[in-house]
Amino acid sequence: MIDALPTLAVIGIGRISRPLVVRLRRAGHSVTVTNRTRARALDVAAETGACVAGTPREAAASADIVIVCLTDDTAVGEVYHGPDGILAGVRPGTTVLETSTIAPQTVRTLAPLVLERGATLLDTPVSGSVELATRGELTFLVGGPKEALDRVRPVMDVLATRVLHFGESGSGSIMKLAINSLLLSMATALAEALVLAERAGIDRAAAYDAFTQSAAAAPFVLYNRDNFVRPREAAIHMTLSLVAKDLTLIDALASSVGAPMAQLDANRKLIDQAMAAGLEDRDGVSVLAELLRHNATAQAGQPGEPGEPNRSH
């Protein structure tokens, strides 16, 4: 007798979670989706044949595994609590995968509430781009009971090539913030280096291609080429407002554990300037290079608006 595949619910449909639904449906799983903006849920359901639930409670009640992917701590709190929240619907034996990038303390607060319902919460934020999500090549960063992770590992393997377990509840979220801190520093350094090469007379695309063929050729550098070389045409990986949100979470974590973060302080100045310029809906990586170009032309007494690309390269 062949065991039936576990049923899934995906709560929150965004840039990363949408391709997760696609992959899970292709693998044969029954998937129920819900989203605060219902049109997004309907859209992915039309594409994949997933079912649509009216509330997080309804979605959670339908599933053996619940995947939550939301914007921030506030959204997570709203979706778990209340008469239509996840906690009101989750069944005993269910595993909740909390993939949102949120504070570790938020996870540690929610985990015992989920346990009271006879279910288990794992913090499972992901590292990777939309392209990697589409190919099933994400990395899961996991905190929580290993036995629960072992139960859901076959489903995670549909979505990721690496599943890394760091220990108790909240440790996956800690690791996600540490990685995002590193990526933010890489983004600002990459922006500075690219603008340096441009200002010194090197063609933008040629300079970036040199980065991708040097010791600097990390995956982050490789998959962000279009965003840096053709920033007004490339797809948005992550908005500046989300980058700023993560920076605040990283700063709070660093303060709570007494970790020195001089690089983060330097990054904050550029992020704050970009936010003040009204660029919060732009790609949070490529906009940094555009802002540096604007700053350079302004210092030289040349015209230019924040975010205006250097069209000579």
Partners of 19 in the β-ladder: none
Annotation marks residue 176 as catalytic: yes
> Distance between CA atoms of 163 and 149, rounded to whole angstroms?
9
Are the CB atoms for 65 and 8 separated by under 8 Å?
yes
Q: In what order do the strands lie in the sheet with 65-68?
A: 51-52, 31-34, 8-11, 65-68, 95-98, 120-123
Q: Which residues pair with 293 in a beta bridge?
A: none
Q: 268-275: long-range contacts (C-beta < 8 A, 24 or more apart)?
A: 270/188, 271/184, 271/240, 271/243, 271/244, 271/247, 272/244, 274/240, 274/306, 275/240, 275/241, 275/244
**Six-digit token pair at 97?**
């995968």
The three-state secondary structure class of 252 is: helix
Cα 266 to Cα 68: distance, rounded to the nearest angstrom: 32
Q: Which of 146, 176, 245, 269 is catalytic?
A: 176
β-partners of residue 139 are 127, 162
Q: At what angle do helices 171-199 and 262-276 cross, to 10 degrees?
A: 70
**DSSP state, residue 122:** E
What are the residue numbers of the active site?
A: 176
